[in-house]
Chains A and B, each alone.
Chain A
């Protein structure tokens, strides 16, 4: 049974207030996943304090890095059930876990951080893993902005 929306609201806001787009319907998930260009990160958010309590601050820290994904979105496991199922359907070979983080480049999954790699770690450690992925796959923010401008 889903938790109270009032309980979950601050857990949603912890990500949305830094620009993470919440995907609350399967159609929103499809729209996000069907954009194949560039880099994208999809977070499966979760109530569980054992892991999600460190995942969200880790994501916030990582997204301050000069290299970061072009698009970042989240679904909320146990809350937005249909949207979460649709998102997981894009990664059929990966067992579901929450929280978890998928990183895509040009529509291809290039990195996945499952729940058990978040549990028991602090926000800095989670951020360090994500920043390593950003440095490998993302352009610096200024360069990304120039690329976007040139494309329009």
Chain B
């Protein structure tokens, strides 16, 4: 038994990786997405090279343990989104 949410994106409630063509990659729980962009909750943002880690190194660690939330909620405009993947599939 659980709670259910109607009228949301199929990714609602799923922790996703939103990569950009720039240095930033976002990891957070998808609330919703549409043609305008994607809304994430409990979001971490990594810039390539932060802490001496590439995007890939950051994502490998995130895939093992999760991420520390830096933002309660973020909207990422569609034009910034290069790809959206489930963190659990990395």
Q: Which residue numbers of A lie inside 8 Å of B, CB to CB?
A: 10-11, 14, 47-53, 56, 93-97, 112, 114-121
Query: Could you list some 15 contacts between A and B, CB below 8 A?
Result: A14-B1, A49-B1, A49-B3, A50-B12, A52-B2, A93-B65, A95-B67, A95-B68, A97-B66, A115-B15, A116-B14, A116-B15, A119-B13, A119-B14, A119-B88
Question: Which residue of A has the minimal Cβ distance to B65?
Answer: A94
Closest CB in chain B relative to A124 CB, distance in Å: 16
How far apart are the CA atoms of A112 and B61 in the complex, in Å?
Answer: 13
Task: Kindly state whether residue B25 has any CB partner on chain A within 8 Å.
Answer: no
* Inter-chain contact total with CB atoms closer than 8 Å: 59
Closest CB in chain A relative to B21 CB, distance in Å: 24
Question: Which residue of A has the minimal Cβ distance to B4?
Answer: A49
Task: Kindly state whether residue B18 has any CB partner on chain A within 8 Å.
Answer: no
Contact A10–B65 (Cβ < 8 Å): no
How far apart are the CA atoms of A144 and B5 in the complex, in Å?
Answer: 43
Chain A contact residues: helix, strand, loop or mixed: loop
Task: Kindly state whether residue B87 has any CB partner on chain A within 8 Å.
Answer: yes
Question: Which residue of B has the minimal Cβ distance to A49?
Answer: B2
Task: Kindly state whether residue B55 has any CB partner on chain A within 8 Å.
Answer: no
How far apart are the CA atoms of A95 and B65 in the complex, in Å?
Answer: 7
Query: Which residue of B5, B13, B67, B88 is within 8 Å of A117 (Cβ)?
Result: B88
Question: Which residue of A has the minimal Cβ distance to B67?
Answer: A95
Contact B3–A10 (Cβ < 8 Å): no
Closest CB in chain A relative to B33 CB, distance in Å: 15
Contact B65–A114 (Cβ < 8 Å): yes
When distances are taken between beta carbons in the complex, the residues of chain B under 8 Å from A96 are 66
